[in-house]
Structure 1
Amino acid sequence: MNQSFLQYVQQTSEQQERKRVFPSQCPFCSMQCKMQLVEQHAEGRTRYQTIGIHNPTTFGRICMKGQHAHQHALHKERLNHPLIKRNGQFVKVTWQEALDEIKARTQTLQTEHGNDAISVYGSASITNEEAYLLGKFARVALKTKYIDYNGRLCMSSAATAANQTFGLDRGLTFPLRDIKHARVLLLVGTNIAECQPTLMPYLEEAKKNGAFLIVIDPRKTATAKLADLHVSLRPGSDAALANGILHVMLHEQLLDEEFIKKRTSGFQEMKQHISHMSLPDITQQTGVSMKVIQKIARKFAREKTGMILTARGIEQQIDGTASVRNFLNILLVTGKIGRIGCGYGAITGQGNGQGAREHGQKADQLPGYRDITNPVHRKEMAEIWNIDEKELPGKGVSAFEMFEKMQKGEIKALFLMCSNPVQSGPHASFIKKAIEQLSFFVAIDLFISETAALADVILPASSYLEDEGTMTNIEGRVTLREATYPLKHQRKHDWQIICDIAAVLGKGGSFSFSSAEDIFEELRTATKGAKADYSGMTYDRLRKTQGILWPCSHLEDRGTERLFEHQFSHPDKLAKFAVVAHGQQGAKEPVSPEYPLYLTTGRVMAHYQTGVQTRKSTSLVARQFEAYVELHPDTAEAYGIQHGELVTIQSKRGSVIMRCHITDTTRKDTVFVPFHWNKHQSINLLIGKQLDPHSKMPGFKYCPVQLSAYKN
C-alpha cells in the first residue's frame, strides 16, 4: 500500500470526523418540514448543507427558505448576551442583572397599578411547550389577564369561523393524503405555491387524478396559474361571492338534503336569507360574472368529493370570520365534510400557528382550547396549576386592543416573545407610539428587531436549531422537533427564560422544569379531556410515529386523522349554518376619488413574516432584496408610471415608497405589496385599526390607497 494512498485515507478520515449532523425542523411555515443541518469542516473552512428528511407530511421535501434557514440561526448579529438600555443605548449585562431589573420594575408597577398593568405578547413560532408555559406565566406568575399573541393577526378568523360552525378548530379537518381523493378543490385567498410550496405536490397529485382546481384570488398567483378556473374577484367581496354560489346551489337544488337534515342546524334561516338576494347585484359587486358563479356552484355540488381551503386572503379582513363561515355554508349544503376527499382546511401560516393557539396564549383560552370564562374549565386548570380558581385572571383583550390600552396608559409594561408587532401589526406607526409610552418593556428574541429596539431589556433566545420541543403542523399533527445544536454564549431557551423570570418573581415552584419534555408532561395533563387533547402523546411515541394528529386521549390512541366523521363538536353534535350579510356597507372603508385603488398584501417565496429572520439570509435576500408594488399595465399607463420606477402609495394613515413591477397578473383596480420589509417599505403603516368583531382580525388584505410617481 503506497504512502499517498495512506495519506488520502487519513485525510478522508479526519474530514469525516469533522462532520457533524444536527436534526431539526424548518422554522418557517406550517408544513414543518423535517430536515437536518450538515456541518462540514475541511481545509480551514466550515460549510453547511440542509437536507430534507422523510416524514409523513412532506416526505423529505424542503423549499428555499428551509434550505437556507441556518443562515439566520448562525448570523453574526444574533443576540449573545442580555442587554439593558441605559441612557438610550443598549449595554451588555449578566443574566442576574437583567432578572433583577425585571423583578424590580415589574413589582413596582404591579404594586402601584395592579396586576393587569403588565401585558404579555406571544408568538406562533415558539413550541407548544413554550406557548403553554407563556400562558401559565401570564396567569400564575404575573397574575395578569392581558395576554395575546401574533397568531391573532394570522389564523384567528378561520379559527373563529371553524369553532362557530363545527364547534372545533383544527387547521385541516382531514389528513393531507386525502387531498388526492378530492374531485374538486376550492382555494380561497391562498397562494400555496409561494407560502407553503412543499404542499403543492398534493394539489398536483389531485389534478393528475382528475380534480378540478378553482382558485379565488384578485391576483393570478403562481397557485392560480395551476388552476382550471381562476376567479379574480374584487378585493373584500368574498362573502358576497359565497352568497352568489349559495344562491345558485339553492335555486338549482344542488344540495345534500340528507346531510343537511341529519347533521346541521340553521339551514332554513340561511336559505330564507339567500332567497332575497339578487345574483346580478352580486355579480356587479364582486366583478365575477354570473356564468362563472354558476360554474363554481355546479362543479362543487355535483362532484362526489370536494374540499375548501382558505388562507389569509379571505381571513385578514374585518369581515373575515363571516366570509369564511359563508364558504363553510357551501361545504355544509353539499355535505362535503367528514369523509375521504372532503373537508375544510385553514392553511396555517406560521410554523406553530396551530399549536400556539391551542394552549393558552389567546386572551380567551386556557390549555387544550378550554374557555377561560367557563367555570368548569377554570376549576380544572386551577387544580392543575395548584392555585385558587379565584386567583386565575379572567378574559383579556386581543393583540391590537392591548396596544390601544398601552396608548391609553391602562397597560404599563409588556413582555414580548419572538414577535415584531411594530412591523406586523396594522397602523404600525400607532403600535410604535403605544409601545414608546410604556413604563417598562422586555423583549425576548434572536435579534434586535424593529420592536425589540424599543425595549428596556432584551433577552437572547434560542433558535430552531437549538430549541427542542413539539410543534403542531398544518394537519394538526404534533411532531417532535429534535434540536441538538449547542446553545452558545449566554443564550437561553425561551422556556428557560420564562422559568427564570417566574423564579425571581417568587413563583419558581410552579416553573421548576428541567427540560422541554418536563413541560410537555404537564401539558399532557393540562389538555386531558379537553378538545385539543394531547394526553395520549409522549416524546417517545412522537419519535416512533413521526407525529400524531390530535385529539389523542390515551397511550394506545393512534390519534384522529379525520374529524367530524360521525358528529360535530357542538353540544347538540350538529354543524351550524350562518346567515352572512355582504356588501361594502358597514365598517369597510370604501374606495373614493381620493383613494381609488384597492391595496392587498401577501408573501413572496423567499421571505417569511416581517423578514427579521429571512432578511438575515444572504441567499434569500439575493432572491428578493426589496419590497415592490405590482400594477396592472393599464393602471401604470393611467398614472404615467414606468416599470422599475419608484412610486408612493398612500392611505389615510401614511405612505410608503416602493419600486413598481408592471404585470397583468393583478386586477386593474388592485395593487399588491409583500409585507416582509421595514422602514419606508413597511406596508402595514397604511392599514387601518378596524377589527373583525368576532376574531379581532385587522383588515390587512383590503385598504383603499392612492398612487403617484415618487418625487424627492
Structure 2
Amino acid sequence: MTGTTAVQDPDGTWNKVLQTQCPFCSVQCKAQITMETAPSGTVSYTVEGLPNAASGGRLCVKGLNAHQHALHTERLLQPLMRKEGELVPATWEEALQAIAERFAEGAAAYGPDSIGVYGGGSLTNETAYLLGKFARVGIGTKYIDYNGRFCMSAAASAGSKTFGIDRGLTCRLADIPLARCIILAGTNIAECQPTLMPYFNEAKEKGAFIIVIDPRVTATAKMANLHLQIRPGTDMMLADAMLKVMLDEGWIDEKFIRERTSGYEELRSRMQTVDLAEAALLCGVEEELIRKAASVYGQAETGIIFTARGVEQQTDGHLAVRAFLNLVLASGKIGREGCGYGAVTGQGNGQGGREHGQKADQLPGYRSIENEADRAYTASVWGVAPEDIPGKGVSAYEMMELMHQGQIRTLFLMGSNPIVSNPNVNLVKEALEKLDFLVVADMLLSETARLADIVLPVTSYLENTGTLTNLEGRVLLREAALPAPGDARQDWSILCAIAARIGKGKLFSYSSSEDIFEELRMASKGGAADYYGITYDRLRKEEGIYWPCPSTDHPGTPFMFSAAFAHPDGKAVFTSLQNPVSKEAVSEEYPLVLTNGRVLAHYLTGVQTRRSPALAARSEANFAEIHPDTARRYRIEEGQWIEIESVWGSFSVRSRISGHIRRDTIFVPMHWGGVQNVNLATTPALDPFCKMPGFKVAAVRIKRVY
C-alpha cells in the first residue's frame, strides 16, 4: 500500500510519512519516507524499507536515496521551448499547440511514418500501454520502440522460442534457497539487485553450489563456489561445452526430454562437433573448471540458471540464452520447486514495459502485431478497424539509423536518454540533431533533452500512480505519495492532451491511471501476458499478483510450466542453431576487449542518480578497470586519464587498476555521458533474432592522455 499521512508533534514538527516504491531496479522494493519539517522550516528525510514479498523490507543505497533526485532543485517544473536557439520557459498551451501543429505538418509532408515514438523501461504499465496506442492509432505511425530493447530483448525472444512465452523468472524468488546448484551467468546481483542477495546467501548456507560466469571478479563472484572468468563474448560456447560434458557423462533427464521437449536429436547431433579443449581455450577458462561446473549442475537434484546483460547484450545474445536454456531442458530442472530459469530484468518495469505495446512488433498482452487475429482483437478493444493499426516497425537503434537517413524526421521521446544509452553514440547524436522536430518528456534535463525543441515536465515516482511488473512477473501498484510539483504532469495525461489536440481525443479519454489499467486488462485478456484478473482493488489488498491471471478469482501464476509449456503441443523446444554472426575480433591494431556494466551507486544513464548527492559522492566519475599487467604494458598509472578507442569512436576516463579483471579485458560502467560515455566506442552490430546491440564486446586500444 502506498500513500501519505501527516502528523504534528508537540514541538511543532510536522512529520509527513510517504509510502512508495523504489523507482530503480526490477525488484521494486517498497519504501517509507518520513519528511520532518521543523518549526524553522528545515526539512529532513528518513527512509526505510517496508515489508514486501520480493525484498522482505530491504532497501539498497539507491532506494535509500531515490527521493533526492525527485526533490532536486533541477526538476523540470514547466514546459520548455526552443526559441532563438535556447530552451526557455513556456506554457502548456504553447507547447501542446506547437506539438500538434508540427506533428500535423510532418505527417502531411512526409506521412505518419515520418514520426517516431521512443519509450522507456521505467514507465508504468499504463503509460507503456498508452504510448503504444498513442503511436499506432493516435499518430498512425509504425515506428515505436523503447530502451528496454537494450535490456531484455535477447532473453525475451529466447524464452518465447523455447518455452512459448516470456516471463522473466519461470520460478519464484522463494525457490532460490531450495536450489542445490545456482548458475549466475553475466549478472552481478550484488551491485545490480543487492536486495536479492540474502536469497543466494541463504541458498549457500543450505549447501547450494553457486557458479558465477563473469569476466570480472565482482562482489557476486566472490560469493561463488566456482567462478568461471570467461572471455567476453564466449558465453554460448561455454554453455555448449557444459552441455557436451553433461551429454557425454549421461547427466541428463531422458524422461523429461522425451515427454516434455522437442528438437533434442538435432541438438545431440550438433553437440558431437563440439571440441571441449578448443572451447575451453576460446572461452579462456580451464577445461577442468568447465567439467566441474557441468558436473555440479548436471548431477544436482535441483537447480536454477539466471542470465542477465553479460550474456544477453551480445550480437548472439538470443542464441547464447537459448544455449543456457538447453542446459535447463536437458537436465529437466524446470517446472518444479527449486528449479527453473530466470532472466534478471534490469529496469524497474523492464518486464511489464515489454508486454503491452512499446515494442515494434507487439500489441498489448504480448500479442503480435503481425498476427491478424491479434490485430483484430486489439482493434476491437480500441474501437478502430484492424487496418487502422500500422504494421511492424523497427528496433530502437534501427530507429536512430532511420533518423540519420532522414526517414524519421520527428521524434516523441518519453522516459529515455538515447544519446547516452544507444551504441555508436556519434551516429545517434548526429541523428537527433538532424531531426526536424524533437519532443522529450522527462523530469530532469537529460543529455538528450538538451537537444530538444520542446521539453515536457513529467512526474517522478513519488507523484505518479501506476502499476509495474517486477522481475518475477509480479504486478505491483505504486500510488502517488505527493502532488505533482509546479506544472509537471502525469506522463499518461500528456499523451491524452496531445491526442486531443490532433483530433484523437475520443480514443484517449481517461481520467486516471486506473481507467487506463481497466482498458489494459481487457486488451491483454486471453493474451500470453494476461492481466485481465488483476485490478487495483486486488493489488491494494494482495500487494502483488503474478501474471498470467485470467480471471478476478484466479490467484495468479507464481510458478510456470509445472504441467506444460506454452507452445501448442505443450513442449519446450531445444535449439541446435549455431552462432550465425561473427563478433568484433581483437587485432594488432585493437588488441583489447572492452565490456561494460553497472556499479552499485548508479542506474541507467545516471540522469537521476547523478543528481543524488549521496549517490554521486560514492562514484563521482566514470573509470576503466584495467589489470595491473595490462596497465604496466601501456605505462598507465592508477587514476590517470586514458583514451579508449574502437573503430566506432573514442572516450576518455580515469584508470582503475585491479586484479579483478582479465588481462585482455577492460571494464567501463555505462552511467555517464559526454566524453566519459562508453557507448562512444560500442559497436552498432545487432543480434539478427532480437536486434539487441552487441554492447558487451568491442575491440579497442588504449593510451595515456597527457
User: Smaller-chain TM-score range?
Assistant: over 0.9
1:619 to 614, 620, 626: 614
Q: Which runs of 5+ in 2 are unaligned?
A: 1-6
CA distance in 2, matches of 1:346, 1:650: 31
CA distance in 2, matches of 1:680, 1:91: 26
Tell whether 2:160 aligns with 1:163: yes
Tell whether 2:536 aligns with 1:510: no
Match of 1:32 in 2: 28
Which residues in structure 2 correspond to 1:409-424 (within 5 Å)?
409-424=406-421
Match of 2:564 in 1: 567
Match of 1:557 in 2: 554
Letter in structure 1 aligned against 2:52: N
Match of 2:525 in 1: 528
Tell whether 2:705 aligns with 1:705: no
Match of 1:320 in 2: 317
2:659 to 660, 664, 677: 664
Tell whether 2:243 aligns with 1:220: no
CA distance in 2, matches of 1:492, 1:44: 27
How far is the alpha carbon of 1:268 from its aligned partner?
0.4
Which residues in structure 2 correspond to 1:35-54 (within 5 Å)?
35-42=31-38, 43-54=40-51
Letter in structure 1 aligned against 2:21: Q
Letter in structure 2 aligned against 1:653: W
The CA deviation string for residues 306-352 of structure 1, in whole angstroms up to 9 with x for no partner, is 00000000100100011000000000000000110000000000000
Match of 2:69 in 1: 72
Which residues in structure 2 correspond to 1:267-666 (within 5 Å)?
267-582=264-579, 586-666=581-661
How far is the alpha carbon of 1:12 from its aligned partner?
3.9
Moved more, 616-625 or 652-661: 652-661
Letter in structure 2 aligned against 1:591: V
How far is the alpha carbon of 1:581 from its aligned partner?
2.3
2:18 to 10, 19, 22: 22
1:256 to 253, 256, 275: 253
Match of 1:675 in 2: 670
Match of 2:687 in 1: 692
CA contact (8 A) 1:461 1:491 kept: yes
How far is the alpha carbon of 1:168 from its aligned partner?
0.5
Moved more, 99-108 or 38-47: 38-47
Letter in structure 2 aligned against 1:696: K
How far is the alpha carbon of 1:11 from its aligned partner?
9.0
How far is the alpha carbon of 1:637 from its aligned partner?
1.1
CA contact (8 A) 1:527 1:535 kept: yes
CA distance in 2, matches of 1:199, 1:310: 15
How far is the alpha carbon of 1:429 from its aligned partner?
1.2
CA distance in 1, matches of 2:488, 2:9: 34
CA contact (8 A) 1:601 1:673 kept: yes
Letter in structure 1 aligned against 2:255: E
1:661 match: secondary structure: strand
Match of 1:4 in 2: none
CA distance in 1, matches of 2:562, 2:8: 60
CA distance in 1, matches of 2:388, 2:250: 55
How far is the alpha carbon of 1:14 from its aligned partner?
4.6
2:200 to 198, 203, 206: 203
2:461 match: secondary structure: coil
Which residues in structure 2 correspond to 1:136-155 (within 5 Å)?
136-155=133-152
CA distance in 2, matches of 1:587, 1:292: 26
Q: Which runs of 5+ in 1 are unaligned?
A: 1-9
How far is the alpha carbon of 1:655 from its aligned partner?
1.3
Give me the TM-score of the superposition, normalised by structure 1. Answer: 0.97
CA distance in 1, matches of 2:597, 2:394: 26
Q: What is the percent sequence identity of the aligned residues?
A: 54
The CA deviation string for residues 388-447 of structure 1, in whole angstroms up to 9 with x for no partner, is 111110000000011111111111100000100000000011111011111111100011
Letter in structure 1 aligned against 2:600: M
Letter in structure 2 aligned against 1:666: I
CA distance in 2, matches of 1:186, 1:178: 14
The CA deviation string for residues 561-592 of structure 1, in whole angstroms up to 9 with x for no partner, is 1101111111111110011425xx84311100
CA distance in 2, matches of 1:164, 1:59: 33
Letter in structure 1 aligned against 2:17: V
Aligned pairs, number: 699
1:13 match: secondary structure: coil
**Structure 2 CA distance for partners of 1:137 and 1:60, relative to 1, 3 Å:** same
CA distance in 2, matches of 1:220, 1:109: 51
Moved more, 344-353 or 33-42: 33-42
CA contact (8 A) 2:171 2:472 kept: yes
CA distance in 2, matches of 1:277, 1:100: 62
How far is the alpha carbon of 1:643 from its aligned partner?
1.3
Which residues in structure 2 correspond to 1:177-192 (within 5 Å)?
177-192=174-189
Match of 2:169 in 1: 172
1:558 match: secondary structure: coil
1:15 match: secondary structure: coil
CA contact (8 A) 2:315 2:581 kept: no
CA distance in 1, matches of 2:535, 2:604: 31
1:194 to 181, 191, 209: 191
The CA deviation string for residues 595-618 of structure 1, in whole angstroms up to 9 with x for no partner, is 100111010000000000000000
Letter in structure 2 aligned against 1:239: M
2:585 match: secondary structure: coil
The CA deviation string for residues 338-371 of structure 1, in whole angstroms up to 9 with x for no partner, is 1100000000000000000000000000000000
2:360 match: secondary structure: coil
CA distance in 2, matches of 1:510, 1:50: 40
CA distance in 2, matches of 1:639, 1:334: 46
CA distance in 1, matches of 2:235, 2:388: 43
Letter in structure 2 aligned against 1:461: V
Letter in structure 2 aligned against 1:519: I
The CA deviation string for residues 506-553 of structure 1, in whole angstroms up to 9 with x for no partner, is 111111111111111111111111110111011110011110010001
CA distance in 2, matches of 1:230, 1:278: 22
CA distance in 2, matches of 1:261, 1:210: 30
CA distance in 2, matches of 1:438, 1:600: 31
Give me the TM-score of the superposition, normalised by structure 2. Answer: 0.98
CA contact (8 A) 2:9 2:15 kept: no
* CA RMSD across the alignment: 1.1
Match of 1:3 in 2: none
CA contact (8 A) 1:326 1:580 kept: no
Tell whether 2:223 aligns with 1:235: no
**Structure 2 CA distance for partners of 1:109 and 1:204, relative to 1, 3 Å:** same
Match of 2:4 in 1: none
CA distance in 2, matches of 1:576, 1:442: 43
